[in-house]
Structure 1
Amino acid sequence: MDNSDYTETSFWEKVKTYAKAAGRETIETALKLYYTLQDKETPGWAKTTIIGALVYFIAPVDTVPDLLPGGYVDDLGALAAAAWTVASHIKDEHVEKAKQTLRQWFDEDGEPAE
């Protein structure tokens, strides 16, 4: 997959389908990056970095198959590396939007909502 394989639809399908399996930390990082990507003030190089990480996250084939126990560890690593790289562009508003979205899928203890 390359950056042209990223679409908002494919991102949201992956997040909604696998939020509980991927876990709160992975989804929170993906959402922070997603909302940073949507910001018009985020520079092009940062958007390219984010898209690369999100493409890896939504890719059906990756280093550790997602359906195995611990299968999202590599996805979290890619997302965390991208977040670290673009950290100066992740604004408080992006973090808050991610947290609002997470509240829909996880309870206060970080467990999947029923």
Structure 2
Amino acid sequence: MSYQLPATVAKNERTVEQGFWKKLLGLAGKLPFAEELAAAYYCAFDRNTPGKVRAMLMAALAYFVLPFDVIPDFLAGLGYTDDAAVLAATIMMVGRHITPEHYAKARAALGLKPKEN
């Protein structure tokens, strides 16, 4: 696992805080991975989540927020495929830290019905 410098982690956190919800809520109906993004957000800002996990999630979320990445977001049909890939890879590495509570908060924030047990 790679490590990020504290300044990079702080920059990613600011980027996510400033732009995450605006971008996600503007696209939520169009993104099949909106719930996972929101759950990753809640896990990343959960102080009970280990620091290394938080840093990885912040990097993935910052990648989503930033408009210029490997495949620019404005390209119809392709723009969010790289964002989805980055998120999927990150969740594969740290997904066990994303709890049912994080998913419940994500569903509530997105206006989705709670999942039945």
TM-score class normalised by the smaller sequence:
0.7 to 0.9
Among 40, 45, 52, the alignment partner of 1:38 is: 45
Relative contact order (alpha carbons < 8 A, sep ≥ 6): 1 or 2 greater?
1
Among 20, 29, 35, the alignment partner of 1:11 is: 20
In structure 2, the residue matched to 1:28 is 35
In structure 2, the residue matched to 1:47 is 54
User: TM-score under structure 2 normalisation?
Assistant: 0.76
1:93 partner letter: E
Separation of aligned partners in 2, 1:72 and 1:26: 10
TM superposition shift of 1:69: 2.0
Q: Please say if 1:83 is aligned against 2:73.
A: no
- What is the aligned residue count? 102
User: TM-score under structure 1 normalisation?
Assistant: 0.78
**What residue ranges of structure 2 are gaps of 5+ in the alignment?**
1-7, 113-117
Structure with greater helix percent:
1
**What residue ranges of structure 1 are gaps of 5+ in the alignment?**
105-114
Identity %: 37
Separation of aligned partners in 2, 1:100 and 1:28: 10
- Cα RMSD (Å) of the superposition? 1.9
In structure 1, the residue matched to 2:74 is 67
**Is the Cα contact below 8 Å between 2:33 and 2:84 reproduced in 1?**
yes
